[in-house]
């Protein structure tokens, strides 16, 4: 667990555990449209399958943010990864990010950046060659601030949205 202080908030970041799944699912439903939100079942599988790359941010023991993703050898995220936890390759060379979200009451304070940097730092320590994610066009500039490069329109059609492949070489 790591502790941070932002705007006089004491934020604890640690790996997600099974007891967090209900809170994670509720937060996802607040932050994403229903067609794009992961299900409780999906979160249960993610926490069980890749807890080393699933982090929660808590204030007063309440989950206010998450970042998570499997490890792979693919240079891009494809739709099966979101639904099939067997796509996780524990000794893969690339860290994915499936979701980065912060409760609306805590947004615009740097908590998403804190979570993003946390996962990037851990990926470097684990000697991953890259971190990848998909995002909508309105967020491309946000991820570019971390050094991600826009690789163009993604083949992913998750949730019926248009996504862009983002790649951060480590």
60-82 confidence digits (pLDDT tens) = 999 999 999 999 999 998 888 88
Paired with 67 in beta bridges are 55, 100
Tell me what the mean pLDDT of segment 20-40 comes to.
Answer: 93
| Contacts with 107 (C-beta within 8 Å, 6 or more apart), sequence order | none
Q: Give dist(CA 139, CA 163) in Å, integer.
A: 10
The domain spans of the chain are: 2-169
Average per-residue pLDDT for the chain: 94
- DSSP percent split of the chain into helix, strand, coil, nearest 5: 35, 30, 30
Is it the case that residue 83 has pLDDT exceeding 80?
no
Q: How confident is the model at residue 110 (pLDDT cuts 50, 70, 90)?
A: very high
Q: Are 16 and 68 in contact (CB under 8 A)?
A: yes
Q: Are 135 and 32 in contact (CB under 8 A)?
A: no
Q: Give dist(CA 140, CA 143) in Å, integer.
A: 5
Nearest to 62 by CA among 116, 12, 4, 115: 12
pTM above 0.85, yes or no: yes
Architecture of the CATH domain 2-169: 3-Layer(aba) Sandwich (3.40)
Q: What is the pLDDT of residue 53?
A: 95
In this structure, what token pair is assigned to residue 90? Answer: 């524990």
């Amino acid at each position: 667990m790591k502790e941070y202080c932002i705007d006089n908030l004491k934020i604890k970041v640690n790996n997600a555990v099974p007891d967090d799944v209900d809170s994670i699912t509720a937060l996802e439903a607040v932050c994403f449209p229903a067609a794009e939100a992961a299900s409780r079942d999906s979160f249960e599988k993610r926490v069980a399958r890749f807890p080393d790359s699933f982090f929660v941010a808590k204030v007063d023991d309440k989950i206010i943010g998450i970042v998570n993703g499997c490890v792979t050898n693919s240079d891009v995220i494809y739709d099966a990864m979101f639904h099939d936890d067997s796509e996780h390759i524990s000794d893969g060379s690339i860290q994915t990010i499936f979701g980065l979200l912060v409760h609306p009451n805590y947004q615009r304070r740097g908590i998403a950046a804190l979570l993003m940097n946390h996962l990037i730092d851990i990926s470097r320590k684990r000697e991953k060659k890259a971190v990848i994610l998909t995002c909508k066009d309105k967020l491309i500039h946000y991820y570019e601030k971390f050094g991600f490069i826009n690789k163009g329109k993604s083949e992913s059609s998750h949730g019926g949205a248009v996504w862009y492949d983002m790649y951060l070489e480590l």
